[in-house]
A and B are shown apart, each in its own frame.
Chain A
Amino acid sequence: AQKITQTQPGMFVQEKEAVTLDCTYDTSDPSYGLFWYKQPSSGEMIFLIYQGSYDQQNATEGRYSLNFQKARKSANLVISASQLGDSAMYFCAMRFKTGANNLFFGTGTRLTVIP
């Protein structure tokens, strides 16, 4: 069975500093995708970044990068130059290209950016 683990219930970061949000996963399927979503206090789910299990390079999207370590089964999100608007819940998720193609989510990390 697949499992996503986010061990940091809450994180604080100073504005303009970088922060890493941890995510580990467990699966025996060799083909999968890893995702990060942001959920601000308004409640919507905002897609941030995607990494495929066969991708050789770490994914980057603007200030977001995904530190993918396949052997360790980790997919940490790095946010550079934090902004006040980054304060939100962040969810790591995984998807397989078989079955329902649905997302399996971790329990989330609440990030607070301090001015």
Chain B
Amino acid sequence: NAGVTQTPKFQVLKTGQSMTLQCAQDMNHNSMYWYRQDPGMGLRLIYYSASEGTTDKGEVPNGYNVSRLNKREFSLRLESAAPSQTSVYFCATLRDILSYEQYFGPGTRLTVT
């Protein structure tokens, strides 16, 4: 029972390169989230998926796209990376709207040079 897994753990990109961050969960949770954490700040919501087949923008969606591939997997894509996207990215899950605890993955540390 791995919980929430994220790949890769670390990544360095050059400006303009693209990449996809992967998130997978084995808890059968309905909702999945992508947050970013910048130095000196709390986590901010990029995109979320309330259930399989749906995705919606969060607070800071510009420069990102997402795919809810199935109930288990939720990916975050940077089409043309910019230095402002240097951050730590967290995936999180929520069983349903009656639940209260979100479960977080270990994070992906991304640096864009």
Task: List residues of A whose CB falls within 8 A of some B CB.
Answer: 4, 33, 35, 43-45, 47, 50, 52, 91, 93, 95, 97, 100-108
Tell me how far the C-beta of B77 lies from the nearest C-beta in chain A, rounded to whole angstroms: 19
For residues 86 through 113 of chain B, which have their beta carbon under 8 Å from a beta carbon of chain A?
Answer: 88, 90, 92, 94, 97, 100-104, 106-107, 109
The secondary-structure label for the interface of chain B is: strand
User: Chain B contact residues (Cβ within 8 angstroms of A): what range?
Assistant: 20 to 34
Assuming the contacts A33-B100, A102-B58, asked whether A107 and B41 have C-beta atoms less than 8 A apart, the reply is yes
Q: Does B26 contact A (CB under 8 A)?
A: no
Q: Does B19 contact A (CB under 8 A)?
A: no
Q: Is the CB of A95 within 8 A of B100?
A: yes
Q: Is the CB of B41 within 8 A of A100?
A: no
Q: Does B75 contact A (CB under 8 A)?
A: no
Assuming the contacts A33-B100, A50-B101, asked whether A103 and B43 have C-beta atoms less than 8 A apart, the reply is yes
In the complex, what residues of B have CB within 8 A of residue A47's CB? Answer: 101-103
Q: Does B53 contact A (CB under 8 A)?
A: no
A97 CA to B102 CA, complexed, in Å: 13
Q: Is the CB of B107 within 8 A of A43?
A: yes
Tell me how far the C-beta of B83 lies from the nearest C-beta in chain A, rounded to whole angstroms: 21
A47 CA to B106 CA, complexed, in Å: 13
Q: Which of A44, A93, A95 contacts B42 (CB 8 A)?
A: A93
Tell me how far the C-beta of B11 lies from the nearest C-beta in chain A, rounded to whole angstroms: 14
Q: Is the CB of B107 within 8 A of A4?
A: no
A108 CA to B88 CA, complexed, in Å: 15
Q: Is the CB of B104 within 8 A of A102?
A: no
Tell me how far the C-beta of A55 lies from the nearest C-beta in chain B, rounded to whole angstroms: 11
Q: Is the CB of B42 within 8 A of A101?
A: no
Tell me how far the C-beta of B108 lies from the nearest C-beta in chain A, rounded to whole angstroms: 10
Q: Is the CB of B88 within 8 A of A101?
A: no
Q: Is the CB of A101 within 8 A of B90?
A: no
